[in-house]
Chains A and B, each alone.
Chain A
Amino acid sequence: MRLAGAELLDSREILPDQWLQTYRAPDLTAGVRAGQFVHVRTGDYSGMILRRPFSYNTVDQVAGTLTIHFRTVGRGTDWFTHLRPGDRIDMLGPLGRPFEVDSRSQHLLLIAGGLGMAGVRALADEAIRDGRQVTLLFGGATAREVYPSSLLPDEVEYVVATDDGSVGHHGFVTELVPQYEAWADQAFACGPLPMLRALAGLAASRSHRLGVAALGRKRGSGKVVPAGSPQARKKAFLQVSMEQNMGCAVGACLGCVVMSTSGTPQRVCREGPVFAGDEIDWEAGW
């Protein structure tokens, strides 16, 4: 975790109200892994007291640049859109635990709902760099909100679903998942809570039907890894990146918790934002 300045290089409205910004921040890109995030301070300190968390959308560790992808939903995100190239802002990062890809997984299924693309985008880069095959399922409301394929690596197989059928599959992105679940070794998702809940249900039934509760749970492997640990997460079929209103982002304020199946609240900023699908208590209503 480091506190460092970041210089805005490029700011683009890639979709209606959705922005992609590139920052030069060499101190914040070293050793970053997909799924981690930065906590960014707004300049208008008197009115906005909290930082804003953004997933690393893409990271270029050689050039020392990172991108963030966000939708303008309020004063804070609106403030970011008014920054000009050359402006410097203050970032805290990298924060949180990343996606954990099992070394034996060759076929990765990425599922993004709307702005959830920002959460899994970096994993596509990471997986392709490591020689894995990636299918990215994307769900959006209409064709206007579909993430442009030009911003994705060529190697990614990109499948789109829209709620109104204006492009791709007519329906929810979760309806596409059964076609890929036998192909996929692991799945990684980010998006609205109902989508993640549905995926967790699909993942549980897949484990039931295909007879594997988790990767590596084979004959002779009796080692028990504690739930919630990176090792346990690595073996999970489904990993989800969670979202929650956040205060400090370092684990101090306990504002950003999600309820786990063990009955103890887990901090999205510290234990997360990536959790195994079966780690989260989806019915807790938290």
Chain B
Amino acid sequence: MKAKRRVITSASLASAPRTPAPKRRPTVRRLKSAFAPVSPGLTGPRPVVRAVSAAAPAVSPETGADPAGEIDLSVDLGRGLVVRNPVLVASGTFGYGIEYGDVVDVQRLGAICCKGTTLRPRIGNPTPRVTETPAGMLNSIGLQNPGVDAVIEKYAATWAGWQVPMIVNVAGESVGDYVEVVRRLEGVPGIAGIELNISCPNVGRGGLQFAIDAGAAGEVTAAVRRATDLPLLVKLSPNVADVRPIARAIADAGADALTAVNTLSGIAVAPTRKKPLLGNIYGGLSGPAIKPIALRVVYEVSQVVDIPVIAIGGVTNLADVLDFLAVGAVAVQVGTAIFADPTLPVRLVEELGSECRTRGLDSYRPLIGTALPKRAGAPSARGVEYRP
């Protein structure tokens, strides 16, 4: 048994047998029919949200939540990646999990997505790399990292001793890069999963980002899927006209979960007005400013795929978490808000538990998907206005 599966329970093993991804995933039409009419408050519409008996204390469903008892906040993100609560920290905002150790109890997080990791070391972009914008920030770090081998050498042993699963965020310039990084991560104790950052230029295809093309996104996902048995999350880019075909291609290629969304492309102007502010000119916009866009993407994506969707984009309080759950996310990642309030993710876990207790729920799952259309029918005509 590989150490990376230390969060696996016998129940989740039974429910998630380690079979290779089927060549043909269920078609979208079949998926639609899989969305049975749901009465909100009874059960989540997403079959992927499985209870984990070991993590969930026995609470009688008839009597509702025991006020003193634990609320079941655990969720299976696929392939046995069971997180104890649905509050993750986003890649690039939490380093390698050790930086905030003095002020945050990292073991209480659902999972940590580490800084983007590439095959070779990268020194990143020229400065300035970050700047504040209204209700958000722009960053263009340029994937500065010491390379996958150094990351494993420096941090994996520490992670292996942790209870909190570490999801390594992987970036690359070609399909081969991604596959090689993932191969090196495979089987390393302390690594619980992979999150693919596909918002990188594909050098082999003239610098077109993987994330904006369904074919390229599917191709890189499938290649990584063949290379690893680790739980595989793929991070969607919001910088596309319609994210649904891309999400479907990634799900069909065998991803275990989707993360939505990455940052939005933007620029800022230097105070002198003589040049753009950021050293790299372009930066990624994050923070509360992008929450409505992230909500829209999660809303759309969660209706067209049958794998878990992890929401990210402007989570700053419990209401944001509940919003994202309502539009179909099974978990959230907190990112930029950590810079202002490092203790926020841990506090959100507690607040989500209290919220469930207040509502008399023994699990947060009934909160998922409550704002989705009650019955998924023909492909939605909504959103057609921003198709090219």
A interface residues (Cβ-Cβ under 8 A, vs B): 1-3, 41, 45-51, 76, 90, 92, 244-258, 263-265, 270, 284-286
Give chain A nearest CB distance to B122 CB in angstroms.
10
* Residues of chain A contacted by B99 (CB below 8 angstroms): 248, 250-252, 270
Kindly state whether residue B141 has any CB partner on chain A within 8 Å: yes
* Chain B contacts for A257, CB-based, 8 A: 124, 127, 129, 144
The size bracket of the interface on B is 35 or more
B127 touches A252 (CB 8 A): no
How far is the CB of B150 from the nearest CB of chain A, in Å? 11
Bound together, the chains give a CA A245 to CA B127 distance in angstroms of 8
Q: Which of B50-73 contact A (CB under 8 A)?
A: none
CB proximity of B116 to chain A, nearest CB, Å? 10
Residue pair B131, A252 in contact (C-beta under 8 Å): no
Known A252-B95, A254-B144, A256-B129: A1·B102 in contact at CB below 8 Å: yes
Which residues, 133 to 191 on B, are CB-close (under 8 Å) to A? 134-137, 139, 141, 144
B-chain residues with CB within 8 Å of residue A45 when the two chains form the complex: 316, 340-341
Cβ-defined partner of A247 (8 Å) among B126, B139, B279, B316: B139
Contacts of B137 in A (CB 8 A): 49-50, 247
Closest residue of A by beta carbon distance from B314: A49
Where the two chains meet, the residues of B that have a C-beta atom closer than 8 Å to any C-beta of A are 92-95, 99-100, 102-103, 115, 123-124, 126-132, 134-137, 139, 141, 144, 279, 287-288, 316, 336-343
Beta-carbon contact of A258 and B340 below 8 Å: no
- Interface SS of chain B: loop
Taken together as a complex, chains A and B put the C-alpha atoms of A46 and B314 apart, in Å, by: 10
Contact call B126/A49, Cβ cutoff below 8 A: no
A249–B103 Cα distance when bound, in Å, is 13
Q: Is the CB of B287 within 8 A of A263?
A: no
A253-B340 contact in complex given A46-B135, A265-B123, C-beta closer than 8 Å: no
Some 10 contacts from A to B, beta carbons below 8 A apart, are: A3-B342, A49-B137, A49-B288, A49-B337, A49-B340, A250-B100, A252-B99, A252-B115, A253-B130, A255-B129
Please name all residues of chain B whose beta carbon is closer than 8 Å to the beta carbon of A90 when the two chains form the complex. Answer: 341
Known: A245-B130, A285-B126. 18 other contacts (CB 8 A): A1-B102, A2-B103, A3-B103, A3-B342, A45-B340, A48-B132, A49-B288, A49-B336, A50-B137, A50-B339, A90-B341, A244-B128, A250-B95, A253-B92, A253-B95, A263-B123, A265-B123, A265-B124
Interface SS majority for chain A: loop
> Closest approach, in angstroms, between the C-beta of A196 and any C-beta of chain B?
15
Whether A49 pairs with B141 at a CB distance below 8 angstroms is no
Partner of B93, one of A253, A258, A263: A253
Whole-angstrom distance between the alpha carbons of A223 and B30 in the complex?
71
Closest B residue by C-beta to A73: B271
Point out the residues of chain A lying under 8 angstroms from B340, CB to CB. Answer: 41, 45, 49-51
Residue of A92, A253, A257 with most chain B CB atoms under a 10 A cut-off: A253
A47–B141 CA distance with the chains assembled, in angstroms: 22
Identify the interface centre among B102, B130, B279, B338: most chain A CB within 10 Å of its CB.
B130
Tell me, rounded to whole Å, the shortest Cβ–Cβ distance linking B271 to chain A. 9
Known: A50-B340, A92-B103. A255 touches B141 (CB 8 A): yes
Assess the B130–A247 pair: CB atoms within 8 A.
yes
Q: Which of A1, A46, A258, A270 contacts B127 (CB 8 A)?
A: A258
For B132, the chain A residues whose CB sits under 8 A away are 48-50, 76
Q: Are the CB atoms of A92 and B127 closer together than 8 Å?
A: no
B343 to chain A, nearest CB (A): 7
Residue pair A286, B95 in contact (C-beta under 8 Å): no
Question: In the complex, what residues of A have CB within 8 A of residue B124's CB?
Answer: 254, 257, 265
Give the distance to chain A from B348, nearest Cβ to Cβ, in Å. Answer: 15
